[in-house]
């Protein structure tokens, strides 16, 4: 059976764009002799549609688009993803469904059983879970059509080591499928590929039949989908893997020797390289899909803004970037030099706007209010906020979207100024710990010194007061990030982290800083997600609470 895997990049709610893309791929697959072409989960509307699913108009457009796509399925079948209306008067109004289209019409509809309601996912908000498992029939073959996590039901769910109540695969197995099709919209995190491969391989081998899984590619706001769609043979070996982070269409023939006897050849790439590619795609799609082309940021001479700028340059091109250097009383000459060197290396236009005078006059204006109270964090924050005003002015006047350059370590402990360096349309590094930002810098410099080495090796500093260093008030980054990863990604308690060997006093301090910063993160820009637990919709903490 010749099957095309169509790994595409959709725009949520742009039915014309998505349907056009799907129809073109159907034509291409047909021309190449495929009898079936498979698209990803909710492909006609794009994933995740969030509360657009509550709008009747949106659902109607989904159904019209499916009908429109079906008309092009002549001489070839397709599986597309779209919501379906729950005909029962009780329960949620929709299903998350896969439509088998052929002979110009809908042949069968298959609903998702294991709805994702954890982390960034809210599927129980919209969808009813399927309890009625039926096989699709195509050219005399019995096909088990599954949606995303329905195929991973042999793995513990993310809520600890718990298992699902229903096993869609066990239900489908009873009906003796010849093939499993899986349509997915499974967001990238740097550890997910090996998890999925293991889960799929186990099933393919256990069932003794091939599995074809097509995943969405592209970024939608904070979520980045890496594609990496897979075809596994009946031995559970990965016979074909589509490219990561790009659109890709490839055809497999499940009946030829090279597929049947393929051996597993998957070598996962280094996680830093994956994060790099994910972030470039994340920035590019945020802009392209929003109709923007140009970006700005404040280039400080430090590591975070340097790495952000390189990623943005790869995503948007140097001609679409323009940056501001915003030195203050406390900026060192090396910071300015390093920033200029980077801008020159990348051939990016920059302006230097000294914020001293603005800073001074604002303080002067506040003098009648503050009298002779001593300088404190307030003045540090004023500097950061004046920079925010300058950058947003450039953004407003010239149409450059501001990129936020904060990293996950500082976002975690609240070392950032709301409405200052926390400004921005999109946080590029907000899910990347500082230790990984260093690795990204070395990865970027792996062939040529793009980022001045001084930017990487000098001690990190916010330069908001004389001689300030990050290490004045935080532990070294490897220790900080170690604690944060346990607390945030692994959801360990303070005692559990201390039991792993971290200093009790440091752990207590860091966890306290994380807890008292929830209100800051609440107003953060959307953050490109590359880990299994990013700040944002996937982590819902009460602001007013004893944590």
Q: Which residues are catalytic?
A: 41, 112, 148
The verdict on 220 binding a copy of itself (CB under 8 A) reads yes
Q: Which stretch binds a copy of itself (CB under 8 A): 233-241, 309-317, 355-363, 459-467?
A: 355-363
Task: Answer yes or no: are the C-beta atoms of 212 and 176 closer than 8 Å.
Answer: no
Structure tokens at 10: 């959709």
* CA nearest to 513, candidates 423, 413, 400: 413
* 480-499 binders of a copy of itself (CB under 8 A): 491, 493, 495
Give the integer Cα–Cα distance in Å for 470 and 431. Answer: 19
* CA nearest to 37, candidates 65, 2, 70: 2
Q: Which stretch binds a copy of itself (CB under 8 A): 103-111, 437-445, 475-483, 534-542?
A: 534-542
String marking each residue 64-103 x if it binds a copy of itself according to CB under 8 A: ------------------------xxxxxx----------
Cβ neighbour number for residue 71 with a 10 Å cutoff: 11
Task: Answer yes or no: are the C-beta atoms of 149 and 114 closer than 8 Å.
Answer: yes
Structure tokens at 157: 């769910």
* In the complex, least distance from residue 274 CB atom to a copy of itself, rounded to whole angstroms: 22
The verdict on 390 binding a copy of itself (CB under 8 A) reads yes
The verdict on 397 binding a copy of itself (CB under 8 A) reads yes
Angle between helices 477-488 and 434-444 (to 10 degrees): 120
Q: Considering the complex, state which of residue 201 and residue 327 has its C-beta at the smaller distance from a copy of itself.
A: 327
Contact with a copy of itself (CB under 8 A): which of 27, 33, 55, 499?
55
The verdict on 120 binding a copy of itself (CB under 8 A) reads no
* 274-333 binders of a copy of itself (CB under 8 A): 285-286, 289-290, 324
Contact with a copy of itself (CB under 8 A): which of 140, 160, 459, 466?
160
Instruction: Tell me the torsion sign for CA atoms 227, 241, 15, 314.
Output: positive
The verdict on 453 binding a copy of itself (CB under 8 A) reads no
Give the integer Cα–Cα distance in Å for 219 and 487. Answer: 27
* 410-449 binders of a copy of itself (CB under 8 A): 418-419, 423, 425
* In the complex, least distance from residue 295 CB atom to a copy of itself, rounded to whole angstroms: 14
Element (H, E) at 97: strand 94-102
* In the complex, least distance from residue 452 CB atom to a copy of itself, rounded to whole angstroms: 24
Contact with a copy of itself (CB under 8 A): which of 132, 364, 447, 459?
364
* In the complex, least distance from residue 147 CB atom to a copy of itself, rounded to whole angstroms: 18
Contact with a copy of itself (CB under 8 A): which of 175, 194, 319, 378?
378
Give the integer Cα–Cα distance in Å for 348 and 323. Answer: 8
Cβ neighbour number for residue 442 with a 10 Å cutoff: 12
Contact with a copy of itself (CB under 8 A): which of 50, 141, 155, 294?
50
Q: Considering the complex, state which of residue 66 and residue 204 has its C-beta at the smaller distance from a copy of itself.
A: 66
Q: Considering the complex, state which of residue 114 and residue 172 has its C-beta at the smaller distance from a copy of itself.
A: 114
Task: Answer yes or no: are the C-beta atoms of 31 and 56 closer than 8 Å.
Answer: no
Q: Considering the complex, state which of residue 111 and residue 289 has its C-beta at the smaller distance from a copy of itself.
A: 289
Q: Considering the complex, state which of residue 100 and residue 391 has its C-beta at the smaller distance from a copy of itself.
A: 391
The verdict on 11 binding a copy of itself (CB under 8 A) reads yes
Compute the C-alpha angle 31/36/38, nearest 5°: 110
Contacts of 348 (CB under 8 A, 6+ apart): 309, 313, 318, 321, 322, 323
> Residues binding a copy of itself: what is the number (CB under 8 A)?
95
Q: Considering the complex, state which of residue 259 and residue 400 has its C-beta at the smaller distance from a copy of itself.
A: 400
* Half-sphere exposure in the Cβ direction for 145 (13 Å, CA): 31
Contacts of 55 (CB under 8 A, 6+ apart): none
* In the complex, least distance from residue 252 CB atom to a copy of itself, rounded to whole angstroms: 32
* CA nearest to 453, candidates 301, 290, 287: 301
* In the complex, least distance from residue 251 CB atom to a copy of itself, rounded to whole angstroms: 31
* CA nearest to 19, candidates 76, 82, 74: 82
* 222-281 binders of a copy of itself (CB under 8 A): none
* In the complex, least distance from residue 324 CB atom to a copy of itself, rounded to whole angstroms: 7
* In the complex, least distance from residue 489 CB atom to a copy of itself, rounded to whole angstroms: 12
């Amino acid at each position: 059976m010749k099957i095309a895997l169509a790994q595409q990049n959709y725009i949520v709610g742009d039915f014309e764009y998505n349907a056009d893309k799907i129809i073109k791929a159907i034509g291409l697959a047909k021309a190449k002799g495929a009898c079936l072409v498979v698209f990803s989960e909710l492909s006609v509307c794009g994933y995740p549609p969030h509360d657009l699913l509550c709008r009747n108009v949106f659902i109607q457009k989904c159904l019209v688009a499916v009908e429109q796509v079906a008309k092009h399925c002549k001489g070839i079948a397709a599986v597309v993803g779209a919501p379906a209306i729950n005909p029962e008067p009780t329960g949620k109004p929709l299903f998350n469904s896969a439509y088998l289209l052929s002979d110009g019409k809908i042949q069968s509809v298959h609903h998702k059983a294991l709805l994702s309601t954890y982390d960034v996912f809210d599927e129980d908000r919209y969808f009813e879970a399927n309890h009625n498992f039926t096989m699709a029939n195509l050219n005399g073959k019995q096909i088990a059509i599954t949606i995303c996590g329905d195929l991973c039901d042999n793995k513990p769910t993310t809520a600890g080591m718990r298992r699902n109540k229903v096993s869609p695969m066990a239900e489908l197995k009873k009906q003796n499928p010849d093939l499993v099709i899986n349509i997915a919209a499974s967001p990238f995190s740097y550890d997910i590929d090996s998890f999925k491969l293991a889960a799929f391989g186990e099933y393919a081998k256990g069932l003794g039949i091939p599995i074809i899984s097509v995943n969405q590619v592209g970024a939608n706001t904070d979520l980045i989908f890496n594609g990496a769609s897979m075809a596994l043979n009946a031995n559970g070996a990965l016979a074909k893997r589509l490219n990561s982070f790009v659109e890709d269409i490839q055809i497999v023939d499940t009946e030829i020797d090279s597929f049947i006897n393929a051996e597993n050849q998957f070598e996962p790439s280094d996680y830093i390289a994956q994060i790099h590619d994910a972030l470039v795609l994340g920035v590019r799609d945020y802009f392209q899909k929003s109709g923007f082309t140009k970006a700005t940021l404040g280039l400080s001479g430090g590591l975070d803004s340097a790495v952000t700028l390189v990623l943005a340059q790869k995503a948007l091109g140097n001609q679409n970037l323009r940056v501001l250097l915003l030195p203050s009383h406390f900026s060192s000459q090396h910071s300015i030099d390093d920033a200029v060197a980077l801008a020159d290396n990348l051939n990016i236009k920059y302006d230097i706007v000294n914020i001293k005078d603005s800073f001074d006059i604002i303080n002067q204006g506040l003098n009648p209010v503050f009298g002779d109270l001593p300088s404190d964090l307030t003045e540090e924050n004023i500097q950061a906020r004046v920079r925010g005003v300058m950058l947003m002015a450039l953004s407003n006047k010239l149409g450059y979207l501001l990129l936020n350059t904060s990293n996950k370590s500082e976002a975690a402990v609240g070392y950032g100024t709301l409405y200052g360096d926390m400004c921005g349309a999109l946080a590029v590094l907000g899910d990347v710990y500082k230790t990984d930002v260093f690795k990204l810098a070395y990865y970027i410099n792996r062939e040529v010194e793009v980022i001045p080495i001084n930017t990487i090796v000098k001690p990190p500093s916010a330069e908001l007061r004389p001689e300030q260093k990050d290490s004045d008030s935080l532990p070294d980054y490897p220790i900080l990030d170690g604690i944060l990863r346990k607390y945030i990604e692994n959801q360990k308690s303070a005692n559990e982290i201390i039991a792993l060997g971290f200093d009790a006093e440091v752990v207590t301090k860091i966890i306290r800083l994380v807890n008292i910063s929830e209100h800051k993160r609440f107003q953060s820009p959307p953050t490109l997600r590359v880990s299994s637990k990013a700040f944002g919709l996937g982590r819902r903490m009460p602001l007013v609470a004893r944590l």
